[in-house]
Amino acid sequence: MSSTRSPDLLTVAIAQIAPVWLDRERTLRKVERWVGRAADRGARLVAFGEALVPGYPWWIEHTDGARFNSPLQKTLHAHYLDQAVDADRGDLNPLCALARRRKIAIVLGTIERPRDRGGHSVYCSLMYVSAAGRIESVHRKLMPTYEERLSWSPGDGHGLVTHPLGAFTLGRLNCWENWMPLARTALYAQGEDLHVASWPGSDYNTRDITRFAAREGRSYVLAASTLMRRRDVPASVPHAAAVRRAIPAMSANGGSGIAGPDGEWIVPPVTGREALIVRTIDHRRVREERQNFDAAGHYGRPDVTQLTVDRTRQRVATFIDQGRKRRTPKTRH
């Protein structure tokens, strides 16, 4: 079905791909190719997995990542920072131009190196690029998990926002954030009915939470995952041979899928291969399922329980400078 046949219909896509690991530019060019493929199939939204650009830090778990002052860990971390995404530098400008040209919105998992926190730490961030070609919001993962904390900084609530997309209201979360009831509630309260759950890649994670989140939210849930195979480690990565020896043949097997507002699979988890998943979804199904449950609406009790969300972008320092009036010198005649 074409999403132009009814205002309730929207064609969406998940691009389950492997990065050119720890190579920002080559991974972004690959992302652009898959965005084009999704647009060719009529999609108005395409979602990618967590930390896809330039890749998830798979080396930490398998190379004694917690060893203090390890030269190997420092070298790999420095390379990770070099390959991270700096939106202020214009790293995503070609992707934004493509979104505008093809009229497609993009949810992209990145490792972000933002200047507003000094520019030398990275965050696991989900970028939302609208079909107008603008980065509309950046959600930084609230809490890195396990060994991720050796690489990523914790984010803030600034990106807990939703965006209109056709008849739908789009929200998104990273990985285990999808298990956080209050993070989900913050999106429900803003009318979310199309949720992107972004993952580094494992059907172990996606096979349960995707259906649960869809049923709880009475929303469509797109579980967007990546692949990671030993052969995806390019020679340009420092200590590439040691990393290849250490990591499994497949670190991430994908697991991307789509669940409907009743919690049932529309596309069960796809594993072991790159894939473009395209489906047309119908907002009418959201309205039907909200008849008996709407977490932030008729089934909410704000007189009993309420959630306060701080969406301030957190900064280490606020600078207040003394303003000086400039006086125009008198002109002699």
Furthest-apart CA atoms within the chain: distance in Å: 84
Q: How many CA atoms lie within 13 A of 272 on its CB side?
A: 0
Residue 31, in any domain of the structure:
yes
Q: Specify the CATH number for the domain of residue 265.
A: 3.60.110.10
Cα dihedral: 206, 260, 31, 6 (round 10): 180
Count how many domains the chain has.
1
How far is Cα 271 from Cα 227, in angstroms, rounded to an integer? Answer: 9
Residue 325 has pLDDT above 60, yes or no: no
pLDDT tens digits along 196-252: 999 998 999 999 999 999 999 999 999 999 999 999 999 999 999 999 999 999 999
Residue partners of 251: CB distance under 8 A and separation at least 6: 56, 58, 201, 228, 229, 230
- The reported pLDDT for the residue numbered 2 is 44
Residue 303, in any domain of the structure:
no
Name the residue range of residue 157's domain.
9-289
Residue 271, in any domain of the structure:
yes
How far is Cα 74 from Cα 121, in angstroms, rounded to an integer? Answer: 13
How far is Cα 271 from Cα 252, in angstroms, rounded to an integer? Answer: 9
Residue 326 has pLDDT above 70, yes or no: no
Residue 43 has pLDDT above 60, yes or no: yes
pLDDT tens digits along 80-105: 999 999 999 999 999 999 999 999 99
pLDDT tens digits along 134-173: 999 999 999 999 999 999 999 999 999 999 999 999 999 9
Residue 203, in any domain of the structure:
yes
Residues 128 and 187: beta-carbon distance below 8 Å? no
Residue 238, in any domain of the structure:
yes
Residue 187 has pLDDT above 90, yes or no: yes
Q: What is the identity of the amino acid at 234?
A: P
Residue 309, in any domain of the structure:
no
pLDDT tens digits along 248-302: 999 999 999 999 999 999 999 999 999 999 999 999 999 999 999 999 999 999 9
Predicted TM-score (pTM) of the model is 0.92
